[in-house]
Amino acid sequence: MPAQAGTHASFHMRDVEVRQISRHARVQRSRLFAAACAVALSFAAAGAATAQLKPDTANVATQEIEVTARPIASFAKGAGTPAISPRLEWRGGLELASFSTLFGGWSGLALSPDGTRIVAVSDSGTWMTGELVYDATRPRALRSVRIGALANLKGKPLARQRDRDAEAIRLLSGTPEKGTALIAFEQVHRIGIFPIDAKGLGKPTSYLTMPKEAARMRMDGIEALAVLAGGPRKGAIVAFAENPLRGEKVHRGWIWIGGTPRGFTVPDVEGFSITDAASLADGSVLIVERRFRWLEGLKVRLRLLEPDGIKPGGTAMGEVLLEANNANAEIDNLEALALSTGEDGETVITLMSDDNFNRFLQRTLLLQFTLKDEPAEATAEAGKSAKK
C-alpha cells in the first residue's frame, strides 16, 4: 500500500542518514587520531631520535638561503574556538619553508624594535637573520635570510651536538643587525653573551653565572630568557626553566642581580611547559607555554606575569591571554616569542615554532598578535564616548 511504502521509504532514508552521520563521525575521529599521532610522533622526535634528524653544523659556513612564505589568514580553524583575551587581536601569520637542510628547529627569536629585522637560534646550533616584510600590518615574507653556525669561545662552530642545543635568544642591546644578544643552551647548560654585526653572530665574549639549580637540570634546562624593559629592576636578566625541577611542583625562574642569579617561582598551571619569555615596558613578562597529551593533542598558551612577583624570593602570578590546541587553531610546537612595536605604538607579539626538523609532520609557523592596553570592546566604547 502507498502508505506502507511511504513508511518503508521514510525508514530507509533515516537509516541512510544515520549511516552517513556515523560515517562522518568515524572520519572525524580518524582525522583527530591522525593529527594526534602526527603530533605524538613529532614530540617523540624531540627526544633521542631528534639528534639523528638535526643537521650536522660543525662545518657550516655562513650562507644566504631562500625562504618561502605562505600566508595564514585566520588563527582559528576546525572544531571549537581558541580562548583569546579581548586584549589580543590577530594580525596574521606565515608558514615558512626552505629547501635548505639547515632551516628548522627555531627555538628562540628576537626582533628589532619596529619588527622588521629578526634574529633566531636553532637547537641544531645555528643562527638566522633576515628581513620580515609586511603588507600593511600583516606579515608577508621573510627575505635576505642568512644562516650561520653558533661559535665557541675560540670562534669555532660548536663541534658536539649536545653543545649546540640553543633554546632562547634575547637582545641585551642594539638590534639584530648590530647589537649584543644573550643565548641560552640546554644539555650543557649555559647562557652566553654574543655580539651581532653585519657578518652575523660572533663568538661569545663571556657566560653568565648559572644558578646552582642548573646541576639538577637534565633536558629541562633554561628554555626562556627576558630582559626587563621597565619597573624597579629594569635591565635585569630573567630566565625560566622549561619544567619544574625533579621533585618540585612549581616552575623556577631566576633574576640576575649584580651578576648573581636569584630565584623566584611561577605557579604551575595544568602541567604546561614554559618555552619562551619577553618583557613588556612595565616590567611584566609574557611567557609562551606548551603541553602535549595523547587524548588532547598539542596545546599552547600565553600567560602574562605581573612585575611585582619577578624579584628574588617572589612568586610571579599572571593572567592567561590565549589558549589554543591543534584542532581549533593554526599552531605547532611554539617555542619562540618576541615583542616589537607597531606603527601606532601598539605592542606586537610574534610567535615562532620549532619543527624538530620533522618537515612531513610539523611546520615552521610565524604568528603575530597585537596586545592592547585595554580590551578592544572597551577601546571602542571609549571612542564612542569621546565623540559625544
Higher pLDDT, 12 or 121: 121
Q: Is residue 284 part of a domain?
A: yes
Q: Is residue 72 part of a domain?
A: yes
Q: Is residue 41 part of a domain?
A: no
| Interatomic CA distance for residues 118 and 109, integer angstroms | 7
- pLDDT higher than 60, residue 380: no
9-43 in b/e burial notation, b at 16+ Cβ within 10 A? eeeeeeeeeeeeeeeeeeeeeeebeebbebbbebb
Q: What is the pLDDT of residues 138-173, one digit of tens each?
A: 999 999 999 999 999 999 999 999 999 999 999 999
Helix, strand, or coil here: 267? strand
Beta-bridged to residue 180, according to DSSP, are 173, 195
| Interatomic CA distance for residues 287 and 241, integer angstroms | 12
Q: Is residue 291 part of a domain?
A: yes
What sign for the dihedral angle of Cα 98, 101, 107, 108?
negative
What single DSSP character describes residue 156? P
| Interatomic CA distance for residues 42 and 32, integer angstroms | 15
Q: Is residue 22 part of a domain?
A: no
Q: Is residue 26 part of a domain?
A: no
What's the confidence (pLDDT) of residue 19?
Answer: 41
- What does the mean pLDDT of the chain come to? 87
- pLDDT higher than 80, residue 280: yes
274-311 in b/e burial notation, b at 16+ Cβ within 10 A? bbbbbbbeebbbbbbbbbbeeeebbbbbbbbbbbebbb
Between CA 155 and CA 88, with CA 356 as vertex, the angle to 5 degrees is 100
Q: Is residue 170 part of a domain?
A: yes
In DSSP notation, 56-69 reads --TTPPPEEE--EE
- CA 307 to the chain's CA centroid: 21
Q: Is residue 3 part of a domain?
A: no
| Interatomic CA distance for residues 174 and 180, integer angstroms | 6
For the record, the C-alpha cell of 110 comes out as 628576537
Let me know: does 331 contact 342? Beta carbons within 8 Å.
no
| Interatomic CA distance for residues 241 and 239, integer angstroms | 7
pTM of the model: 0.86
| Interatomic CA distance for residues 17 and 102, integer angstroms | 51
Beta-bridged to residue 64, according to DSSP, are 146
Q: Which CATH number do you get for residue 308?
A: 2.115.10
For residue 35, which phi and psi values (nearest 5 degrees)? -65, -45
Higher pLDDT, 13 or 83: 83
Between CA 213 and CA 224, with CA 218 as vertex, the angle to 5 degrees is 70
What single DSSP character describes residue 261? E
Structural domain containing residue 262: 46-387
Number of domains comprising the chain: 1
Q: What is the pLDDT of residues 31-70, one digit of tens each?
A: 444 444 444 444 544 444 444 589 999 999 999 999 999 9
